[in-house]
């Protein structure tokens, strides 16, 4: 794709190569009209404004977009930056062109119906504009293609704008336009948008990674030639038609994200060589994979088949990682020439390769399914554009995983999705009646994220309803806006009488869980400024107020009443500096005078003969292995104020299964809660009772751990034990898998 601004001559030469005469005439009329209306308007860079729509149209022409799309690209800023209306464009150029221009045009003013008489913020106007664009895209993808190339040219010329505008546009590009290009399979465009955005947001990282990749490319060239020759020779001997072997390094932004996530310096770019092997047909791809695994050993767990199960963005390829005889790791992708070309430009193949086998019905069907997904999300709440936009950005544009139904059908979900998200994606009724889930034939917690490739089976019960706790994002039951909206809508449809009854039962159930069965409902209502308990019950029943929020408030009111102990220790340096050290178990501390540890140095403690602890830097040379055995403590630096913890006992009632106690203790560890004591489990009639004494720092921490444990499969009751008194018969189970509210 050319990087320079287009001129009229280059544009018309390009369209002459593929458009019919009558179509070229229409485009020429749009060119003349836009050029006249924009007149001498200038961009921030000083160049004529018309160079922008002309360049966008030229980008489209390189992929053989049709005359209406080219005309709309030339006119796409006329309705926004001149006095020409969409109606006038329709009069001159027809309904199709006007519809495309209207879909791309930003909203300057929103109708009374949309704004509901309120003055909208800049963010709300932006969301409404994006909502309009996405809605138009599902009807005609050319709308968003014009917008993507409009953004590309703006990002290529962004240096002429103020810095704060650059950062705003770059962040918007990373959040919306690059993911959209990715889901449409336009890999080249996606990669450049990400790189241009990174250059704005973190120029130092961009330059370091770019230079390091270029250096690696030069260093790897000789090795690549040798490996490429081996692949050609080996596969040709197997009578496979190898068309090419291509060196294809990771793009800059992907490298940046990987380095950032792993806390690795930006110059330490992954040196693993990435090769693409192009073959004659898909059969040859599988045969070549087998032969290459004979030539070099494959790395276990590093194989993906995107030919048999293509991604929604039209990408098809076999992925494997091998280790050569010299010990070098290679990432190899095997695909046909057609797959390779389509993987670069995605949906643009619909025009560039029109009438060829490269744009098949199967490819078109996958694109239609993607648009259906966007359409479903964007129209969740038509009266609230922000909700629809958030749903698309977070659910559709986010990195996807593929999971399978029991029948083997593929369901794509946003990464982090849970069994409840899966159930709602299948059918809203299945989501609302979701009672339990089996993943890979094992009982699975409803708030545990699914993994790529999982096989999921949902157990539903007709009288089961959604749980209000599902809507607490902190508990992780629901990750997608689509599922969250439909769960919330279920509660909002309840009659007032039913909502009040549910809310009352729900409040009492939450108080029981806290070990506060006798706590006054009136006091709860007062703490939330409700006039009466009925209003509190109503909002709880409709999920306008979540039970976990109520539980946290109740605990906050009582938190200081119980005994507590210090979790952190104070230690002073010789110069009087004060530091907070965690996990020292109230031992007397002193700082090592040799390594002089200071935050944020990683630290450990050495238990001396007098039972005091010396705080050392982790790499202090005085910590000799022969002295360390059995005397080391893992320490950390605390906040400015030492923490205090309340010691509380909780009772967990379960139907025992392998690994359950481990899962409970793992959750507690993840919450960084200390288990002071575990009472040996007792059982009766197949039920097991586990008593855990925990040191809890904050009310919200207690609410979280109670609900997290309650979400585990086979747990049917959890409660704080009031004043240490255990009454096993007080709460009886409703079921072996899940207790509805």
Question: Which of the 8 DSSP states describes residue 590?
Answer: E
User: For residue 355, what are the contacts with CB-CB under 8 A and spacing of at least 6?
Assistant: none
Kindly write down the DSSP assignment for every residue of 461-524, as one continuous string.
-TT----GGGG-GGGTS---HHHHHHHHHHHHTS-HHHHHHHHHHHHHHHHHHTT-TT--HHHH
81 is catalytic: yes
Helix (H, G, I), strand (E, B) or coil at 411: strand
Q: Contact at 8 Å (CB) between 586 and 569?
A: yes
Q: How many CB atoms lie within 10 A of CB 530?
A: 17
80 catalytic? Reply is yes
Nearest to 367 by CA among 392, 388, 348: 348
**What DSSP string runs through 2-34?**
--SPP-HHHHHHHHHTTS-HHHHHHHHHHHHHH
List 400's β-bridge partners, or say none: 414
Distances, alpha carbon 500 to alpha carbons 311, 441, 542, 579, in Å: 46, 39, 8, 51
List C-alpha distances in Å: 172 to 179, 375, 391.
10, 21, 16
The catalytic residue among 23, 28, 66, 81 is 81
CB 198 within 8 A of CB 252: yes
Neighbouring-strand partners of residue 120: none
Catalytic, out of 2, 7, 80, 474: 80
Number of Cβ within a 10 Å radius of residue 59:
22
- The packing angle between helices 699-710 and 660-670, to 10°, is 160
> What is each CA distance from 362 to 70, 359, 586, in whole angstroms?
27, 8, 66
What backbone torsions phi and psi does residue 639 show, to the nearest 5 degrees? -75, 180
3-state helix, strand, coil in the chain (%, to 5): 50, 15, 35
Cα four-point dihedral sign 212, 217, 218, 222 = positive
Cross-strand bridge partners of residue 632:
606
**Distance between CA atoms of residues 397 and 390, nearest Å:** 10
Residues contacting 240, CB < 8 A, separation 6+: 279, 280, 284, 287, 288, 291
Nearest 5°: CA angle at 658, between 652 and 660? 30
CA distances from 363 to 179, 278, 340, 360 (A): 19, 20, 14, 5
CA–centroid distance for 286 within its chain: 32
Which residues are catalytic, by number?
A: 80-81
């Amino acid at each position: 794709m050319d990087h320079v601004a287009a001129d009229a001559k280059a544009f018309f030469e390009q369209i002459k190569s593929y458009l019919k005469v009558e179509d070229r005439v229409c485009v020429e009329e749009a060119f003349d009209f836009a050029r006249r209306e924009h007149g001498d308007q200038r961009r921030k860079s000083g160049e004529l404004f018309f160079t922008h729509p002309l360049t966008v149209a030229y980008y489209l022409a390189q992929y053989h977009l049709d005359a209406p799309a080219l005309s709309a690209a030339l006119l796409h800023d006329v309705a926004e930056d001149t006095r020409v209306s969409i109606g006038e464009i329709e009069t001159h150029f027809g309904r199709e062109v006007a519809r495309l221009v209207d879909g791309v045009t930003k909203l300057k003013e929103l109708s009374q119906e949309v704004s509901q008489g309120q003055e909208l913020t800049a963010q709300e106007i932006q969301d409404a504009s994006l909502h309009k664009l996405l809605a138009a895209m599902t009807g005609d993808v050319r709308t968003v293609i014009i917008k993507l190339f409009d953004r590309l040219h703006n990002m290529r010329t962004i240096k002429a704008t103020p810095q704060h505008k650059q950062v705003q546009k770059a962040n918007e590009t990373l959040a919306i336009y690059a993911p959209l290009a990715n889901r449409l399979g336009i890999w080249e465009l996606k990669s450049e948008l990400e790189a241009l955005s990174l250059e704005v947001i973190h120029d130092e990282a961009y330059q370091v990674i770019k230079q390091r990749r270029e250096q690696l490319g030069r260093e790897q060239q000789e090795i690549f030639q040798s490996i490429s020759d081996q692949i050609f020779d080996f596969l040709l001997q197997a009578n496979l038609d190898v068309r090419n072997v291509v060196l294809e390094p990771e793009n800059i932004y992907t490298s940046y994200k990987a380095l950032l996530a792993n806390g690795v310096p930006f110059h330490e770019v992954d040196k693993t060589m990435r090769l693409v092997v192009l073959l004659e047909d898909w059969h040859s791809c599988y045969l070549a994979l087998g032969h290459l695994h004979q030539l070099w050993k494959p790395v276990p767990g590093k194989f993906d088949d995107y030919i048999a199960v293509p991604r929604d963005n039209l990408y098809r390829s076999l992925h494997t990682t091998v280790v050569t005889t010299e010990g070098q790791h290679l990432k190899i992708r095997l695909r046909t020439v057609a797959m390779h070309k389509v993987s670069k430009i995605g949906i643009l193949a619909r025009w560039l390769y029109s009438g060829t086998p490269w744009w098949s019905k199967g490819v078109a069907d996958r694109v239609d399914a993607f648009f259906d997904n966007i359409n479903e999300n964007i129209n969740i709440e038509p009266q609230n554009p922000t909700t629809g936009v958030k749903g698309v950005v977070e659910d559709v544009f986010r990195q996807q995983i593929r999971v399978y139904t029991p029948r083997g059908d593929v369901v794509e979900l946003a990464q982090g999705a849970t069994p409840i998200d899966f159930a709602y994606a299948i059918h809203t009724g299945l989501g609302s009646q979701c009672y339990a889930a089996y993943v890979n034939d094992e009982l699975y917690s409803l708030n545990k994220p699914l993994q790529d490739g999982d096989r999921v089976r949902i157990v539903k019960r007709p009288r089961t309803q959604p749980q209000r706790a599902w809507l607490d994002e902190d508990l992780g039951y629901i990750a997608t806006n689509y599922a969250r909206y439909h769960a919330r809508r279920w509660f909002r449809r309840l009659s007032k009488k039913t909502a009040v009854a549910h809310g009352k039962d729900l409040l009492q159930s939450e108080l029981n869980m806290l070990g506060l069965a006798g706590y006054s409902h009136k006091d709860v209502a007062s703490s939330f400024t409700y006039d009466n308990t009925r209003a509190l019950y109503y909002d709880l029943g409709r999920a306008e107020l979540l039970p976990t929020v109520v539980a946290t408030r109740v605990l906050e009111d009582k938190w200081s009443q119980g005994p507590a102990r210090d979790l952190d220790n104070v230690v002073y340096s010789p110069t009087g500096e004060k530091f907070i050290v965690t996990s020292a178990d109230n031992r007397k501390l002193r700082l090592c005078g040799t390594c002089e540890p200071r935050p944020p140095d990683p630290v450990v403690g050495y238990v001396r003969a007098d039972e005091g602890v010396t705080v050392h830097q982790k790499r202090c040379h005085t910590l000799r292995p022969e002295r360390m055995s059995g005397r080391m403590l893992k320490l950390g630096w605390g906040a400015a104020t030492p923490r205090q913890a309340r010691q509380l006992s909780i009772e967990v009632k379960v139907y025992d299964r392998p690994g359950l106690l481990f899962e409970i203790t793992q959750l507690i560890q993840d919450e960084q809660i200390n288990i002071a004591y575990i009472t040996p489990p007792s059982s009766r009639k197949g039920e097991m009772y586990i008593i855990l004494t925990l040191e809890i720092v904050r009310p919200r921490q207690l609410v979280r751990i109670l609900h997290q444990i309650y979400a585990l499969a086979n747990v049917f009751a959890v409660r704080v034990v009031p004043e240490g008194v255990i009454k096993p018969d007080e709460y009886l189970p409703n079921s072996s898998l899940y207790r509805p509210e």
